[in-house]
Structure 1
Amino acid sequence: MRALIVDLARPGSLALSELPDPVPGPGDLLVEGLAVGICGTDREIVRGEFGVGERLVIGHESLGRVISGPGFDPGTLVAGVVRRPDPVPCVACARGEFDMCRNGRYTERGITGVDGYASTLWTVPASYAVAVGSETGVLVEPASVVVKAWERLDRLALFPFESVLVTGAGPIGLLAALVGVQRGLDVHVFDLAKDGVKPALVESLGATYHRELPDHPVVIEATGAPRLVARLLGRDLVCLTGVPSTEVVPVDLGQSNRDLVLRNGIVFGTVNANVRHYREAAAVLDRADDEWLSAMITRRVPLESYPEAFEQRPDDVKVVLEL
């Protein structure tokens, strides 16, 4: 099989290589790899800024077609779950909540300790595979992160809310807005793009696009921009999904602390997802307009041109590498 390999000890070592075909174990699916989505984490791994181990098959946003295995008909489109629990479970992993691992000894396909999905063949335990309805199912992994964010918002909200602000119109932000619209909420999206695909995607979703930051009490933050995060502290309920840079930003923590306490505010972070989140994410995508989802994928890159998929271009929303 062909696979995209990176040597985590050598920045810029990404290469297309030939590897032995995988052999499925008991309970595994054998899957033809069709596509992987590319995100900021993948680019950080290629630059040598993230990841644990040595040689790694990259790719965690997966789409494949079942060749054989239990529980799925051949030809079924599937996505593979990324995280696996700690082999010596912490209290969260022992309860099946491995996305909330407390000791950090989990593994993640294509990120930490386990080969990913950027290969023309891959295997996955059937219990860690989710059926998807179309080729836009390559968006299931980022959608699963969003579904988990909404699940935690539901648990933590101290009051009913009819409106939500999403900051950032990248894949996570747009998918968060999609879920909000599906829930019947008044959804507002803040981003700096003046024109192009991002405002158009927000407006065609039925949400409201802003280039000035609105004052909303409930926020899903999807940029990871430290200066923006600093401005959001003190609002009633803020979910942080973006992984920030190391930029140092001056913040009046005293005022932020005062605002949070006096408003009974909550700020929390969330990342990764469990199997149930993947299943709900697949349902979210099934309910969505497939043309709208396809418009999120602003570039499709063939495997032979793989370096182009890891370039970050101004008009990109989601880049997909076709295997």
Structure 2
Amino acid sequence: MTTQLSDLETQLSTLKQEAQRAIATASDLEQLEQLRIKYLGKKGSLSQVLGGMGKLDASERPRIGALANEVKELIQAELEQTRSTLQTAQIEAQLEAETLDVTMPGIYQPQGRTHPLTSTIDRVVDIFVGLGYTVAQGPEMESDYYNFEALNTPADHPARDMADTFYLPDGNLLRTHTSSVQIRYMENNEPPVRIVAPGRVYRRDTVDATHTAVFHQVEILAVDEGLTFTDLRGTIKIFLESMFGECPIRFRPSFFPFTEPSAEVDLQWRGRWLEVMGCGMVDPNVLKAVGYDPEVYTGFAAGFGVERLAQVLHQLDDIRRLYSSDLRFLRQF
């Protein structure tokens, strides 16, 4: 036996014993992986020992090769066994840490309820989406252009008094209606247009049983070739019947600067007529402001306060109840 052969056998024996001791004392999977790389990696201890086989005679190499394979298989088996043991211990520790004491009383969490305003908005939107409308939204802080001027309401127009709002120091304002969403949408989309625009709006109204300065509004807009007031009337009738069932409704002539002709829609409620929305055919000036040709396209729009519909839907006597945060009231819904 040559000296080189004897040295390699000694190195392999020492490597096997050292690896066994190190693997047996590994405390976690990360440390075990480092040991695998140290002993069996491409630049590991076993590869370094086998690098000396080139100095052996051809007849001696099979002996060292067989011994090296034996050492490698032993180390791999030790690694797998220890890995399995560590994984099992890790799972048991995790289960122990996450164990729940099912004998302890639970913490009661009352089930939440959807606010009547939110549920009303959802119901309205669902109806119009079912009619083929797309939901559109816009900012609550608006410019004078989108809130008034593009809607055929210049600075000196008396109709501004009907929708006085809160002005900000930078010249912007809090929107008085979601009609501004209609302008923004039409500027970026070609006809046909069918949108429903829900959102919060602001007006300097005197707060009473049917009015508040901050409220929610839903508006619809349809623009296409050949739309008429008959289409508007039919759409509103279907909507109100879907919300309230069969109920008497009426249209009254009215005025809005952005529609012509315009109408108010009343619903019979608690023995009297209650105004629930305004509507009309889109004024040609509004269509021109967004680049639509009024000789080709016509449209209709309608808008209503969500609070007013919620009043009718839930038979409420005062709109202010919706903002009182009184749980005795809210738990009814």
Identify the TM-score tier after normalising by the shorter chain.
Answer: under 0.3
| Structure-2-length-normalised TM-score | 0.23
| Structure-1-length-normalised TM-score | 0.24
Going by fraction, where is strand more abundant, 1 or 2? Answer: 1
By relative contact order (CA 8 Å, sep 6+), the higher-ranking structure is: 1
Greater C-alpha radius of gyration: 2
Going by fraction, where is helix more abundant, 1 or 2? Answer: 2
